[in-house]
Amino acid sequence: MNQETGRLLLTDFVMMVGLLRRDMKHNKEMERYEGRFSRIDKKFSELAEFVSRDDAEFAKTLRTAFEQPSRTLAFKNAEHQKQLKGTKDQGPGTD
């Protein structure tokens, strides 16, 4: 696995945890798991701090994925749609 793939996978994972946390808050289920999410928040902060030592921009991306997962998902979907449109515009090759 190359570094870029690893970054994408880690960002997606962080985003999914952020979405789960957001959904649990909206569904009023957070109280039951508040201790666990508190520990997750702490570990994530440590991870982001560690990453920021070598790559501040990637750490910012991870923080955004965790704190604003809906925004991250929207940008990911928009990028995917651009790629799909680019593929359609190229059409089949006519060599």
Q: How many helices (H) and strands (E) does the chain have?
A: 4, 0
pLDDT tens, per residue, the chain with 95 residues: 898 899 989 999 999 999 999 999 898 888 888 999 999 999 999 999 999 999 999 999 999 999 988 888 877 777 767 777 877 766 555 44
User: Which of 84, 82, 60, 64 shows the shortest CA–CA distance to 73?
Assistant: 64
Tokens of 34: 């508040």
pLDDT for residue 53: 96
* CB distance 48 to 59 below 8 Å: yes
pLDDT for residue 71: 82
Residues 6+ apart with CB under 8 A from 68: 18
CB atoms within 10 A of CB 57: 9
pLDDT for residue 82: 78
